[in-house]
């Protein structure tokens, strides 16, 4: 019972911040430009600072070196989900104009705007290295295969641009992670004043991420939300198959229990908020992607406490 109460409390922390963003957006506090600014502040400024300050402040070189090899498990999990998504898309006759989006959304989760705050609320800062290991795999998978799949739904032929892909993969958050890891591994200590600055800026990450999610939910007409076959199958993939696959991969391994719990929680996060943006860029069905992001984000607030109770039994 205490575990369930802790999970509910963690979700309420997140839900209140999301509600704040939703209410402010509903009252016209944000336009498209300011919403874009918040997303950029999180991904390009706050999150890199958060990664550097937390990694350098909380973790040793030994702990990081023993954690990074487990990157293979999220990679295998996403690849297996992608294979399953292909089979489901064809056997369920998913529309060709949605098939690439379906496979991309089925396979990837929102590891930053939702996954990071959820794990911080449920497990605390000690979970951060495991969150970031999953993030590395997820962001690489999305900006390579995931984006290619979305392009296939667009009006133009899908092409793979290595330059653009590498730029997206090696984004400021990942670079912040890499810098933090490198400084720890070579035993470099930053001055106290600089660490304090990084901590202050990094502390913006979670509240701004949740406010951004609230704004994003407001941007979708809730009357458009519905549950047809395609929607239901994506929900099945995100909230049932993804954590099930990850559980089967990690449950019998010697990795730390907390890492197993974080990987399972991260695998069951909602669809990446980048999916509608990429869909719009390549003339795919961005409205479909936006609706699915909203549906999975709202339903994750119900799924998270249940899953939290289940992972405690590992």
Question: Could you write out the DSSP letters of every residue in the chain?
Answer: -HHHHHHHHHHHHHHHHHHHHHHHHHTT---HHHHHHHHHIIIIIIHHHHHHHHHHHH--HHHHHHHGGGGHHHHHHHHHHHHHHHHHHHHTT--HHHHHHHHHHHH---TTTTHHHHHHHHH-GGGHHHHHHHHHHHHHHIIIIIHHHHHHHSSSPP---HHHHHHHHT-HHHHHHHHHHHHHHTT----HHHHHHHHHHHTTHHHHHHHHHHHHHHHS-GGG----HHHHHHHHIIIIIHHHHHHHHHTTS-S-HHHHHHHHHHHTS---THHHHHHHHTTS-HHHHHHHHHHHHHHHHHHHHHHHHHHTT-
pLDDT for 165 equals 60
> 210, 234 in Cβ contact below 8 A?
no
pLDDT at 242 over 90: yes
Residue 71 has which token pair? 């990157």
Model confidence at 20, pLDDT cuts 50, 70, 90, reads very high
Q: Domain residues for 145? A: 2-311
Model confidence at 127, pLDDT cuts 50, 70, 90, reads confident
Residue 302 has which token pair? 């119900």
* Alpha carbon distance 61, 184 (integer Å): 6
* Alpha carbon distance 216, 213 (integer Å): 5
Residue 183 has which token pair? 């400084």
pLDDT for 81 equals 95
pLDDT for 266 equals 94
pLDDT at 159 over 70: no
Distances in Å between the Cα of 87 and the Cα atoms of 78, 102, 105 are 14, 11, 14
pTM, two decimals, is 0.82
* Cβ partners under 8 Å of residue 46, min gap 6: 201, 202, 203, 204, 205, 208
Q: Domain of 227: which CATH number?
A: 1.20.1530.20
Which residue bears the tokens 């909230």? 239
* Alpha carbon distance 125, 132 (integer Å): 11
> 296, 234 in Cβ contact below 8 A?
yes
Residue 140 has which token pair? 């690489």
Lowest mean pLDDT among 32-46, 84-98, 184-198: 32-46
* Alpha carbon distance 241, 252 (integer Å): 18
16/282: higher pLDDT: 16
In residues, how long is the chain?
Answer: 314
Count of structural domains, the chain: 1
């Amino acid at each position: 019972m205490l575990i369930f109460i802790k999970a509910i409390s963690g979700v309420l922390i997140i839900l209140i911040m999301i509600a704040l963003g939703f209410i402010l957006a509903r009252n016209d506090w944000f336009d498209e430009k300011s919403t874009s600014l918040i997303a950029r502040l999180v991904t390009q400024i706050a999150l890199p600072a958060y990664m550097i300050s937390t990694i350098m402040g909380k973790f040793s070189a030994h702990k990081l070196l023993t954690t990074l090899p487990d990157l293979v498990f999220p990679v295998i999990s996403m690849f297996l989900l992608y294979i399953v998504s292909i089979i489901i898309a064809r056997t369920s006759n998913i529309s060709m104009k949605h098939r690439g989006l379906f496979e991309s959304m089925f396979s990837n989760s929102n590891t930053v705007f939702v996954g990071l705050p959820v794990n911080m609320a449920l497990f605390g800062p000690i979970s951060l290295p495991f969150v970031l290991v999953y993030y590395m795999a997820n962001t690489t998978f999305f900006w390579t295969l995931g984006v290619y799949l979305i392009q296939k739904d667009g009006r133009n032929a899908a092409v793979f641009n290595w330059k653009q892909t590498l730029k997206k993969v090696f984004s400021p958050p990942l670079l912040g992670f890499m810098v933090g890891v490198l400084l720890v591994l070579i035993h470099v200590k930053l001055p106290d004043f600089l660490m304090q600055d990084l901590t202050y800026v990094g502390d913006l990450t979670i509240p701004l991420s949740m406010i951004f999610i609230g704004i994003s939910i407001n941007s979708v007409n809730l009357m458009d939300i519905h549950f047809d076959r395609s929607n239901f199958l994506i929900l099945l993939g995100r909230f049932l198959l993804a954590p099930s696959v990850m559980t089967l991969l990690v449950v019998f391994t010697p990795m730390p229990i907390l890492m197993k719990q974080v990987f399972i929680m991260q695998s069951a996060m909602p669809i990446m908020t980048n999916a509608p943006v990429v869909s719009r860029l390549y003339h795919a069905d961005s409205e479909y992607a936006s609706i699915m992001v909203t549906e999975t984000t709202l339903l994750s607030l119900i799924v998270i406490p249940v899953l939290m109770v289940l992972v405690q039994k590992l």
